[in-house]
Amino acid sequence: DTAVSQTPKYLVTQMGNDKSIKCEQNLGHDTMYWYKQDSKKFLKIMFSYNNKELIINETVPNRFSPKSPDKAHLNLHINSLELGDSAVYFCASSQDLGRQGIFDEQFFGPGTRLTVL
């Protein structure tokens, strides 16, 4: 009964390729996120969606394009992969965005380790 699942778990690809990472949550949550964790373990938010609507779009290259076909899914497509894109990408979900700055707890997926050669 995985709450937040991601596929694939590992992704090794050549520079210049296009790849997608899929994320699904079965918690009935309204909000989903994509995070990037680099080799130093810094965790940075990339995007967040609430009820399929884009809420946060951090300063990431426009080679990264999220897509939310429905509330339970948030996929990440990356065009023209570069060496610097190598990282672990985490999907997460929360009940809602929270209210008055009080955030709901986030449930993270297992991560996708992307290696660009």
Partner 1 sequence: GQQVMQIPQYQHVQEGEDFTTYCNSSTTLSNIQWYKQRPGGHPVFLIQLVKSGEVKKQKRLTFQFGEAKKNSSLHITATQTTDVGTYFCAGPEYSSASKIIFGSGTRLSIRP
Determine the interface stretch with partner 1 among 18-26, 40-48, 60-68, 72-80 (rule: CB under 8 A). Answer: 40-48
User: Is the CB of 15 or the CB of 42 nearer to partner 1?
Assistant: 42
* Entry field: residues in the chain: 117
Q: Which distant-in-sequence residues (6+ apart) come within 8 Å of 55 by Cβ?
A: 31, 48, 49, 97
One residue of 42, 51, 53, 63 binding partner 1 per CB under 8 A? 42
Binding status of residue 107 toward partner 1 by CB under 8 A:
yes
Distance between CA atoms of residues 67 and 35, nearest Å: 14
For the bound state, the minimum distance from the C-beta of residue 16 to partner 1, rounded and expressed in Å, comes to 29
Binding status of residue 108 toward partner 1 by CB under 8 A:
yes
For the bound state, the minimum distance from the C-beta of residue 71 to partner 1, rounded and expressed in Å, comes to 17
Closest CA to 106 of 88, 93, 91: 93
* Number of chain residues interacting with partner 1 (CB under 8 A): 23
